[in-house]
Structure formats: C-alpha cells, structure tokens
Structure 1
C-alpha cells in the first residue's frame, strides 16, 4: 500500500500537481520506506532530463520558424544559407537531446515496469497480514495447524503458500506460538534482528521496533535462534530465553563516539516468574491479560502501558522517566494503574482524550 501511494505522489510531483501537504507526505513515506527512495530519485532525475530536452527542442524549433519568417520578408539576418549551413548545424544540435529524451523515456518505462513487477511479486509474497491495535489482542490458527496469539500493537504476515512448502512468517511486535509439528518443514519466524527456526514447540517472541531488544522465550520443545548481524546460532532449551540488542536509530548511532563501549549484543538467560507457581512466567503474562513489570524505568513501563491500555503517554518532566517500578496490573483501569504507581513515586498526571501527560 505504501509503495503504491509513493508512486502516485511521485506522478503528481513530476506533473507539478502535488500540493505542499502531498510533498510532505511523500518525504515521510521515503523515510519509512528507504528502499524506494533510490528508484524514485532516478525517475525524478531522468524526468527532468527529458523535460529539459523537450524544452530545448521547442526553443530551437521556434528559432528556426523566426529565421524563416525574417527571410521570407526580406529582412537581412547577417548570414545566408550559402555562407554557413545554420539549419544543418541546428539539426545536429537537436539530435543529442532527442536521443537523451528517447533514452530517458525508455528508462522511465523500464522503471515503471520494474515497479509493477516488484509490486506484483510483493503482493504474491505477502498475501495475508494480521494486525492488532494498542489495547487489543487476538489469536489465529494458521493453515498448518499452528496457533498464534498476537499481543497489542503487533503485525504477523505470511505468504499465500504458507502451509504447503513454506512455513515462514514475519513478526513485528509480540506473539506466542504453539507450532504444529512437521519434521520435513521447519517453522521459521523472521524478525528485524534474528530468525527463529523450530520443528514443533511453544514459545514467545517479542520484537517491537521501538524497544531496545528483541527476545525469544522457550516454554516447551526446542528452537534455534539465528542472530542476523553476525550469524550466531543458539539452541534454546525449555525455560531459556535469548535477548538481542536492536540496532540503534541512525541519529543515535551518529551520536555515539567511536570510543564508547559497545553494549552486549546477545545474552542468554532464563525466563522469570512473577509468582511462586512455575506457570507464572513473566514473558507470557500478557496472554492472561496481565501487565507484569520488574524494576523497569518509567519510560519502559510507559511503552508497555500504551500497548496494554491503548493510550499515549507523554512526559512533561524528563527526570520522571528514570523512576523505576515493580508490579502487576490485571483488571485495573489506566487511572487505577497510575494511582497505584503514585503510591511509590511522586508525580502528577492529567488525561486529555487518549493521551496521558506525566508531570
């Protein structure tokens, strides 16, 4: 959908029909879809060359018509055709522009064909997509019998051929998988920082783009996690989890000095429990409609509250972001949850529609 909208806006831009709002929308789409910026830039550049060639051709034709009219009226123009073959020179000067225009037009058509083919391939590759908004959760059963529970603010996508020879999905957000066993066709989950390969098991994957880490927690069976940036392969056992640092945004990367110590990229640990029972696993508590947090900063907790309650949280005082909390929310409203937090930390809040401002 974004790709189609980008090319619609590019067409309006090249035709000088795009409004200021549409140009701003196009810039935002390029930021969110960097892979499309290069081909769009090439089309823009080639279009400008074609337009310039057409303008030059029109100017030369107008000049020739003016000279012919002057000669017909007997007006001296300083040189005759026998002295200097001016029209012949003009014809030679036009050919490079006409040639460039033809090449540019051909390339534009090739680019359009490339985009059309690419978009058709993408449509075929990703035929199904399941999404959840903040404050909502859902569960689905895939064609191979695998059951997936999708947490708030998440997206799961897979191809139309899923369940035949292909058992791979792409996850952005958090999901719990109960994978159907098929020894000949491994089940693969793709996230931004790692891939997870399984045969038949149950586990939780958390991969929100705005979080600092991506993690996979194994409940039963066995899974293999492949970290993308260094191809590290780790086999997990039940009750183990792998945590991988997400790549920093471009601005944050440029702000870091070369001498700064790099954080540990991959860590292996055990799942945590929020109660004495072995089934009270923190990593899967969201499936029981519980928000469990342990020694987390107010910033991290605010992100979880946004997904859990379907609200937005803003901080008026940056120092409050460093407050740390431990607790469990289950049946509380967002107002009750904030009032409970106020018992252990000094802060105020106000609610404006679906936005909570922390003072």
Structure 2
C-alpha cells in the first residue's frame, strides 16, 4: 500500500494541495524508500515546466500505455483504488485541469516503469529491482538538478547535479558507509561508535559527526574535500600510507588524472598525484563559502579557468559547452549566478571579460569562440 500512497501524496504536494500531515507522511515514505527520490524529482520537474505537446496526443499515449500494461498483466492504469480515484477527482476539480492531465500522463509513465520493475519476471523475484537485489540503495540527480536526502541515521546529504549516492540497505546497523560520484554536501549526525565513511574513486573520507563538502566528479581534474565544521580524515587511494587530518575551514585538493604535465607536479619516481591543502575563504560581506554556495542554488566560481567554468555551467544548466579557442579556455573568470539562464550567464561573462567572446546555441550544444 505504501507505493500507492506515495503517488497520491506526491500528486497532492506537486499540486500545492498537501496538508502538513500529508507532507510529513510523504517525507517518512521517502526516508523508508530513498530510491523513490529520483521519481519525485522528475515529476516535480514535469509539473514546473510547460506542456510542449498537444494534450490529445498525451491522452492517446496514455491509452496506448494502459493497453500495453494490460497485455503484460501489470495491475496499473484504470484499476485505481478508491482513495486514488478520490485524489484524482479532487485534482481534476481545480482550474488547471489541462496541466494536471499532463502531470497524470507523466505519473503514468513513471509509475509504469516502477510497475515493470516490480512485476518483470527477469528481476529475479516480485518486488525487487536490480539495485534491491544487490542490497543497495541508489539516489542520483540529473544534470541541471539537485536533491536533498535524509539517511536512516538522520544525517542529511545534498546532491549536486549529475551526482550519485549509494549505500547498503543495512546502513547504520553496524556501520555508516556511502559511495559518492559527483558532489555532495554532508551534515552528519555524530555517533562515535559508528564512524561515517564516504568512498570516492580517488579518496575515502572518515568522520564522526561534522559538516563538509566533497566534489568528486571522475571527469574533473581533481577531487576536493572542504571541511566546514569539526574534523575529518582523508585517505588517498593511490597513497594508502598517507592520511590527512583536516581541521575546520580547510580544503584538500587531490589531482585525479594526468591531463597535462603542468597539472601533475608529482614525484617522477613514485608517480604520486599532486595534493594541496588550503584555507577555505569566507566572503567578507556575508561569511558564505564558495564551495557550498550551490546548496543555496548559487553557481559560484572565483578566478577559475574558463574551461573549468564551462564544465560547471554545463552541469548546472544541463547543456554541453565547447570552447574552441585554447587561449580562451585558460582565461580566468569570476562570477555568481542564481536565477539567470545559461544565455544570460554567458552574456554577463562576455560583457565583464577583458577577452571578448561570442557563443552560439543549437539545442543543448553551445559553442564559444572569439
């Protein structure tokens, strides 16, 4: 019953008609089933965007989808429970019928995917997805999106765009371990008996209870660990004997790969990556920290090469940005953007830069040149 109740409560929340009790129950269900975070995020994106296809086409797609589900003997579609019928009827009575019908079409697609996972005979057993069979919870965010997760022990994680967090379903029973790909901001509940471990492809981070940010995109030049409060220990996988203890307001940067000779000033004999330990800079005006501004929905870069800025902007706005001029790639930029579109952000950078450039967008591809 919990899955059906999840869809009902999520629909009420998105439509702005959920009571405080509904929101509390939905939050509890999301904590019990963190794998539903991705569906919730996608459906909220559908609701907040504008319909771009004709409603009649969506209705035809909806009916076709029901027909296919019935052929597979998947119990979804018109076989609604009484409480589901009441929720749909309640939504249909408001002034945004077309938008709600469009949302229901999106709900149908997402729910049918979930139904397929639950009833697909190749899943091994009823009610189990491949991730569940592996005893793993997985939460991911698309490019251009962010999400907040509350782990079973009460610790909170914010995931930045294009990131993934996985952990065992027995998390917090004997230990607390998660694996991160991408960027995450962690606010960890203190438990000396169960240290909290974050595994990335380059480093492992061990804490007891603290607030910190880890940026570990495999395609980036470096992995960054920024400690906001408390203390933590970082182990570098390529240097197992080295353990670095960070104090509050310290940031460790470990190079990921040898892209250029300049990027790697490693010892030629040991072939070890470059590491740097710096103090985190706080903005004098409001004491904010650039490394965590993304959790406040602000894209911030400070004296960074344009090629690195382009990567950040690509994730932030879900676009592919290519800079064709080598010198322009090395141009260092500083900026803060919050509500701007990608075009507005690039126009602002072009206006402020001492090196003029132009850009052209075609779909999700943006080409930048001088």
TM-score range, shorter chain: 0.5 to 0.7
| Residue 131 (structure 1) aligns with | 140
The number of residues matched between the two structures is 236
| Residue 360 (structure 2) aligns with | 350
Q: Is 1:235 equivalent to 2:229 in the alignment?
A: no
Q: Is 1:313 equivalent to 2:340 in the alignment?
A: no
Task: Supply the distance in 1 between the matched residues of 2:216 and 2:322 (Cα, whole angstroms).
Answer: 22
Cα deviation for residue 318 of structure 1 reads: 3.1
Q: Spell out the pairing of 1:176-215 with structure 2 (5 A cutoff).
A: 176-215=185-224
The superposition leaves residues 87-116 of structure 1 with CA deviations (integer Å, 9 ceiling, x where unpaired) of xxxxxxxxxxxxxxxxxxxxxxxxxxxxx9
Q: Is the 8 A contact 2:265 2:273 kept in 1?
A: no
- Within the candidate set 225, 228, 231, 1:222 is matched to 231
Q: Spell out the pairing of 1:336-347 with structure 2 (5 A cutoff).
A: 336-343=344-351, 344=353, 345-347=355-357
Q: Is the 8 A contact 1:124 1:160 kept in 2?
A: no
The superposition leaves residues 201-240 of structure 1 with CA deviations (integer Å, 9 ceiling, x where unpaired) of 1110010111111011111111111111112111111111
**SS of match in other structure, 2:233:** strand
Q: Is 1:272 equivalent to 2:267 in the alignment?
A: no
Q: TM-score, normalised on structure 1? A: 0.61
The superposition leaves residues 169-197 of structure 1 with CA deviations (integer Å, 9 ceiling, x where unpaired) of 00010000011111111110001111111
The superposition leaves residues 12-51 of structure 1 with CA deviations (integer Å, 9 ceiling, x where unpaired) of xxxxxxxxxxxxxxxxxxxxxxxxxxxxxxxxxxxxxxxx
**Compared with structure 1, are the counterparts of its residues 143 and 335 closer, same or farther at alpha carbon in structure 2 (3 Å cutoff)?**
same
| Residue 118 (structure 2) aligns with | none
- Within the candidate set 169, 182, 202, 1:160 is matched to 169
Task: Supply the distance in 2 between the matched residues of 1:316 and 1:197 (Cα, whole angstroms).
Answer: 41
Q: TM-score, normalised on structure 2? A: 0.59
**SS of match in other structure, 2:345:** helix
Q: Is 1:174 equivalent to 2:183 in the alignment?
A: yes
**Compared with structure 1, are the counterparts of its residues 122 and 288 closer, same or farther at alpha carbon in structure 2 (3 Å cutoff)?**
closer
Could you tell which deviates more after superposition, 195-204 or 260-269?
Answer: 260-269
Task: Supply the distance in 1 between the matched residues of 2:277 and 2:266 (Cα, whole angstroms).
Answer: 26
| Residue 110 (structure 2) aligns with | none
**SS of match in other structure, 1:206:** strand
**SS of match in other structure, 2:311:** helix
**Compared with structure 1, are the counterparts of its residues 179 and 258 closer, same or farther at alpha carbon in structure 2 (3 Å cutoff)?**
closer
Runs of 4+ in 1 over 6 A off after TM superposition: 120-123, 256-263
- Within the candidate set 315, 337, 342, 1:334 is matched to 342
**What runs of 5+ residues in structure 1 fail to find an aligned partner?**
1-115
